[in-house]
Amino acid sequence: MTTQQDRPTASSAEVHILFNGYVGDETESPVGDSRSLVGSTVSFVREGDIRVIIDPGMVPHPNAILEPLAALGESPETITDVVFSHHHPDHILNAALFPNARFHDHWAIYQGDIWDSRRAEGYALSPSIRLIETPGHTPQDITTLVGTSDGIIAFTHLWWTSTGPEEDPFSNDLPALHANRQRVLRIATRIVPGHGAPFTPDESTPR
């Protein structure tokens, strides 16, 4: 797959970060091995009639997603599409907030009781919004590439934050993780990681 083929065909989408995620230190758990504070970075992208939420996962309260969305003139009902970067619940937990959406993962689109199988690789939600398959954190990982007037933004769990981790402790396939980071870095001008604020990749970015 060449960089040119990965590129969305347009650059007219608008991007907003609704919630900046995080991963806190582990502490002792009364019920299991450990517990920690986990927040998903939740994003909103719109182009034409398409309105996309990426990773409506763990946040302190649903309003952490809904209030910034309302400030953009949107509501849960106006969302047409939700993208799951992968299948971990910290990125899925609040999906049911959006009653009219199609839900996208690596191998299907889900809506109501319809399971529509398709590969995510190269799938375009709109001219500026494209999915590519980027396994590494899990086998089901996808990256959303969005063309904007400021360049191509990649929404991805290949990085948790701007600093990595260098070697993802949950990865089942580190060579794939590193290869797919390289693939994304060849095209993206900005990265929106799974649990942190957006960053502009540079020499210090783990790859």
- Which residue bears the tokens 């299907």? 108
Nearer to Zn ion, 6 or 141 (CB): 141
Cβ atoms of 134 and 184 closer than 8 Å = yes
- For residues 64-123, which are near Zn ion according to CB under 5 A? 88, 90
- What single-letter DSSP state applies at residue 169? T
Nearer to Zn ion, 47 or 90 (CB): 90
Strand partners, 47: 50
Using rule CB under 5 A, residue 47 touches Zn ion: no
- The minimum distance between CB 91 and Zn ion, in angstroms, equals 6
Which range of residues in 6-14, 66-74, 95-103, 192-200 is near Zn ion by CB under 5 A?
192-200
Nearer to Zn ion, 90 or 133 (CB): 90
CB atoms within 10 A of CB 22: 17
Strand partners, 191: 154, 199
- The minimum distance between CB 206 and Zn ion, in angstroms, equals 16
User: Which residues have a Cβ under 8 Å from the Cβ of 198 and sit 6 or more positions away?
Assistant: 17, 153, 190, 191, 192
Nearer to Zn ion, 12 or 199 (CB): 199
Q: By the criterion CB under 5 A, which residues form the site for Zn ion?
A: 88, 90, 194
